[in-house]
Structure 1
Amino acid sequence: MAGRTSKTGGRGTAMARPYDLQRAVDFRLLFARRQSAEVRPVPGGFLVRHDAYVRSHEHNEIHIDGPVEPTELPAVADAAMAELPHRRITVHDDRLGLACAPALTLAGYEHGVELVMTYTGPVAAAGRGEVVELDLGPDPYGPLWRALANQQRLWMPDADEETVRQMVGRRAARRNGAEDVRFLAVHDEDGEVASWADLYMEPADGVAQIEEVVTAEHARRRGYADAVLSGALQRAAAAGCALRFLVADGEDWPRHWYARRGFTTVGRAHVFSRFS
């Protein structure tokens, strides 16, 4: 884990962080490949596709993890994603992402930054409520599906129901992304799902990712998110995953919330998006 001495000794924070970042990037790239229905090579990386979730940019995007000429990326994306209504490119190297920004911005792309944050504190006891593991199941009206759909409608008020269905249902594809994938939740006093998160683990590699920690509107500021986050960290530790990380928006408030709970930024990725 970043900020701690390695088992071999002599590797403190300064050397551990680049190593942890690369392991986190490798995990993300493998997860993207595994959860996709199709992977196609492109210059500097690969394209993932999943026609069942064509409206999910996560499942239909280009990942750049190798050398590429920045000025060629707009044409690469247009050729690879010609039949899609959107373009999305994630550049996993910070310096390369910055180098790609001028050409992609000129081509009409919006530029966002993702922070890779690793957990550097002790595993605290769970907060308010019991953390349980749920599944979407075949019923689209189950408690987790209902909570996810309601939140998606708040995030995307103009989206139609097919888009909402794909945004929620894409978790079925995420099941294939790692050896151990769990959907965690905590209920409120009325039995409704109050907060939730995804947990992806590769115990053999000692790596875990926590994704989409969200609290329903009606249950905010009551400690439910702390419970879910602690529950995820506890399960990752129990599975032998010493490297525990998440990805946060570089400009949104949750990055500060994570930092106060022991997460440290170890690197950045750059995300470029555009509707064609």
Structure 2
Amino acid sequence: MTSPPTDTELPRIHGFLSDFHRRQADRVVEFPGGFAALDDRFTHSRGNNHLLVDGSTDPEALPARAEELLGHLSHRLVYVVDDEVAAACRGPLERAGYTRAATYLMWHTGPVPAHGGARRVGIEELRAPASTAWRRFAPGISDEQIQHLVERRIARLGAADDVRFLATHTEDGEVASWVDLYLDPAAGIARIEDLVTAEAHLGRGHAGRVLDTALHLAAEAGCDLRFLSANKAKWPHRWYGRKGFAVADTIHYFERG
């Protein structure tokens, strides 16, 4: 399941990833070697409020920097792109109470599938199914937390040049599975994220159809480099491997709170 990209492809993925976080942020605070992406509208969303280290930085200064920039939040989250930088940051962050985990960046190396039959939908159509899914994924979280996690798609509309939310439906018109597709046709790169299937419709092929649609539309838009992220500790990365994706890189992240 590992197929390393070339020396030109991996920087393209990293560049898109950094731009994605910058573009969806309401405000960006720069620091040596990285930046804070912040959005006070969605303070419960870690994906909208975090540090991203995408260059060389001072590892010993990072815990205090995170406290300074994320101190108004109930969580702390620091992404580190480079393996060597992450290794250097691990000690200072763990001493400050952070735990380390990792996510795979996976790029599509298989053939482009036929259109899977999913169609483009608006944010309003995803609100109810996404809210229900979050209650399944994170039992016990508050209504306000769910609202932030669902409504953050508003910010994601600015995360790329062309942003599409895709979904498959049941015969009765109910949303069954959905995914975000972020396209930069000029750069020839696409990101696929947040693929979810409603619990009542698991095991019926909806996830494969919505993923096939995203890959097909990305290729149709001229995006030869297509990637997604998948938690290293959870099972979906194995399913993505069967769908033609291979591990391109590992992004490290450190969490507290």
Q: Which amino acid aligns with 1:245?
A: F
Q: Which amino acid aligns with 1:155?
A: F
Q: Helix, strand or coil for the counterpart of 1:113? A: strand
Residues 214-223 or 101-110, more deviating: 101-110
Unaligned runs of 5+ in 1: 4-12, 138-142
Deviation at 1:189, TM superposition (A): 2.5
Q: Which amino acid aligns with 1:114?
A: T
Tell me the TM-score normalised to structure 2 length. 0.95
Is the 1:45–1:63 contact (alpha carbons within 8 Å) kept by the matching residues of 2? Answer: yes
Deviation at 1:245, TM superposition (A): 0.3
The CA distance in 1 between the partners of 2:115 and 2:188, in whole Å, is 22
The CA distance in 2 between the partners of 1:156 and 1:18, in whole Å, is 38
Is the 1:32–1:48 contact (alpha carbons within 8 Å) kept by the matching residues of 2? Answer: yes
The CA distance in 2 between the partners of 1:245 and 1:170, in whole Å, is 21
- Find out whether 1:133 has 2:133 as its counterpart: no
Unaligned runs of 5+ in 2: none
The CA distance in 2 between the partners of 1:44 and 1:123, in whole Å, is 36
1:199-210 → structure 2 map (5 Å cutoff): 199-210=181-192
The CA distance in 2 between the partners of 1:147 and 1:77, in whole Å, is 34
Matching residue within 61, 80, 96 for 1:107: 96
The CA distance in 1 between the partners of 2:100 and 2:189, in whole Å, is 28
The CA distance in 2 between the partners of 1:21 and 1:117, in whole Å, is 11
Q: Helix, strand or coil for the counterpart of 1:18? A: coil
Corresponding residue for residue 124 of structure 1? 113
The CA distance in 2 between the partners of 1:157 and 1:124, in whole Å, is 35
1:111-190 → structure 2 map (5 Å cutoff): 111-127=100-116, 130-137=117-124, 143-190=125-172
Q: Helix, strand or coil for the counterpart of 2:123? A: coil
Is the 1:126–1:226 contact (alpha carbons within 8 Å) kept by the matching residues of 2? Answer: no
Question: Once the two structures are superposed, what CA deviation does each residue of 1:85-119 show, in whole Å capped at 9, x if it has no partner?
Answer: 21110001122112222221221112110111100
Runs of 4+ in 1 over 3 A off after TM superposition: none
Question: Once the two structures are superposed, what CA deviation does each residue of 1:200-241 show, in whole Å capped at 9, x if it has no partner?
Answer: 000000000000111111111111000000000010001000
- Find out whether 1:220 has 2:202 as its counterpart: yes
Deviation at 1:259, TM superposition (A): 0.6
Q: Percent identity?
A: 41
Q: Which amino acid aligns with 2:232?
A: G
Is the 1:71–1:103 contact (alpha carbons within 8 Å) kept by the matching residues of 2? Answer: yes
